[in-house]
Amino acid sequence: MKFTEEHEWLLAEGDVVIVGITEHAATQLGDLVFVELPEVGTEVSKDDEVVVIESVKAASDILAPLDGEIVEVNEALVDEPTKVNEDATGAGWMFKMKLADMSELDDLLDEDAYKALID
């Protein structure tokens, strides 16, 4: 698993990457009440706004961690946004994307570097 400084996690599964927010981010946001997901087939560039989430505390945008195409979204989050709070790195994943360049994953934080960032 890789991490961004914006508190997203990425998990490579073949040539596709699963993306969500970290447990730390979910805890900081509080209970999610709304999730707006991107359209499948959307081409995104790193740092594009991809997902809109609203919690009891704030609204926030989730950015594309890298360049690529959205190939699947977690539709369950539309009806049950609290899945993110309950299982941020599992059932609470947000979208899957096919990266333009898989080697860009190497530039992201590993778990130890991410833990150092949030400490």
Q: What is the pTM of this model?
A: 0.94
Please state, for a pLDDT cut of 90, what percent of the chain lies above it.
97
pLDDT tens profile 26-55: 999 999 999 999 999 999 999 999 999 999
Please state, for a pLDDT cut of 70, what percent of the chain lies above it.
100
Tokens representing residue 3 in the block: 């991490």
Domains of the chain: 2-101 (2.40.50.100)
Instruction: Determine the average pLDDT of the residues in 95-109.
Output: 96
pLDDT tens profile 45-84: 999 999 999 999 889 999 999 999 999 999 999 999 999 9
